[in-house]
Amino acid sequence: MRRLFLNNVSVKEAEEEDGYRRTINGQNHLNLFNNRQQPKKKRKSRTAFTNHQIFELEKRFLYQKYLSPADRDEIASNLGLTNAQVITWFQNRRAKLKRDMEELKKDVESTKMLTAHKSFLENVQDLGLLKKKAMVNDEDCPKNLVISPEK
């Protein structure tokens, strides 16, 4: 029997380690799970903060973007939240601030572009008006005007 080797491990062993399906006695087996169901970890439901909690968290965020462990404990106990909830709220709020700042920066840049474009168009229109005035002035002037010296 011939075996292929990958990094000193046979293909058969690699398949078994990686959890590939293989047939034994006509049945498919997935080695990774050994035919037993693993219990799913129940996820905690989303926390609904009260208006008062949000107000206090936002107030603190205005002057302190990062909390020390002592500050975090204080806020959590005062607002009836866990440390993890306070940590998560501040992380999410910093991410929101970053997104808002990037959006504002893009808005400012696009406004600058629009302003530059608008002034460019105004300058082009002004040049067009100057050309028209110059053309009118050229036509008003006689072409064969000869100025003779005074006698």
pLDDT, tens only, 70-116: 999 999 999 999 999 999 999 999 999 999 999 999 888 888 787 87
pLDDT(126) > 50: yes
Question: What average pLDDT does the segment 130-151 reach?
Answer: 59
User: What tens digit of pLDDT does each residue of 32-75 get?
Assistant: 555 666 778 888 788 899 999 999 999 999 999 999 999 999 99
Distance CA 47, CA 9 (A): 48
The 10s digit of each residue's pLDDT in 3-38 is: 544 455 554 555 555 555 555 555 555 555 556 667
- Distance from C-alpha of 59 to C-alpha of 142, rounded to nearest angstrom: 78
Tell me the C-alpha distance between 103 and 16, whole Å: 49
Verdict on whether the full-model pTM lies above 0.85? no
Alpha carbon of 63 to those of 59, 82, 109: distances in Å? 8, 21, 27
